Amino acid sequence: MLEYRRMTLAKPAFPAPDHDHGRCTADALAHAEEVCEQRAQKFTPIRRQVLAALLSSHRPLGAYEVIDELAKSMPRPAPITVYRALDFLMANGLVHRIESRNAYLACAAHDHDATSAVAFLICERCGLVGEIPSASFAKDLNAAARSSGFAPKLSVVEITGVCAHCQKAA
């Protein structure tokens, strides 16, 4: 577990296709519970279910895909229900929004705060998404922006390509 965490922090983390997904899901849910408790926020059933739906893959899901996913195990929720849960999860750093896809992704790196910049690696073959923690590149990027007097706030960095596993498979 610590091993896992350290990896996601130290270098770009791409979910290995053979990783223990049950565990990674369970860990993430436990982590979410923890976070909510610390913040005195309620991790309600619907919020848990939405997070679980996102965790069911490492792929970003559109809001309507989340609805479809939830519909499998409960009466089909209305869009508003899911959007509220997503807003909550994002506000608490448990879910990222992938801007270039209008989609949502369960956060894999449990250690960064909600606001820090993250870069995403999106595999165009398998659809899995990895995260690069900000530290390494954000400084350069922000410096480049600032050099023209621009004050950066929010960065969207989304890199499409082919993950290591899919390269081997090809």
Partner DNA sequence: TGAATATAATAAGCAAGCTTACGATTATTC
Partner DNA sequence: GAATAATCGTAAGCTTGCTTATTATATTCA
Contact between 44 and 32 under an 8 Å Cβ cutoff? The reply is no
Crossing angle of helices 45-55/79-91, nearest 10°?
Answer: 80
Span from 50-58, 59-67, 104-112, 140-148 in contact with a copy of itself (CB under 8 A): 140-148
- Footprint on residues 85-114 left by a copy of itself (CB under 8 A): 99-100, 102
DSSP state of 101: G
Q: Does 39 bind DNA (CB under 7 A)?
A: no
Instruction: Rank residues 44 and 102 by Cβ distance to a copy of itself and give the closer one.
Output: 102
> For residue 94, which amino acid is it?
L
Residue 80 interacts, among a copy of itself, DNA, none and using kind-specific CB cut-offs from 5 to 8 Å, with: DNA
Residue 163 interacts, among DNA, a copy of itself, none and using kind-specific CB cut-offs from 5 to 8 Å, with: a copy of itself
Q: Does 11 bind DNA (CB under 7 A)?
A: no
Nearest to 123 by CA among 160, 168, 170, 167: 160
Q: Does 158 bind DNA (CB under 7 A)?
A: no
* Residue selected from 28, 61, 121, 126 as contacting a copy of itself according to rule CB under 8 A: 121
Instruction: Rank residues 16 and 71 by Cβ distance to a copy of itself and give the closer one.
Output: 16
Could you identify the residue written with the tokens 């899995």?
128
- Evaluate the CA torsion angle 40, 129, 158, 8 in order and state its sign: positive
- Footprint on residues 111-150 left by DNA (CB under 7 A): none
- Evaluate the CA torsion angle 55, 59, 63, 69 in order and state its sign: negative
Between CA 22 and CA 3 the distance in angstroms is: 17
Binding site for DNA (CB under 7 A): 41-42, 44-47, 62-65, 75, 77-81, 83-85, 88, 101-103
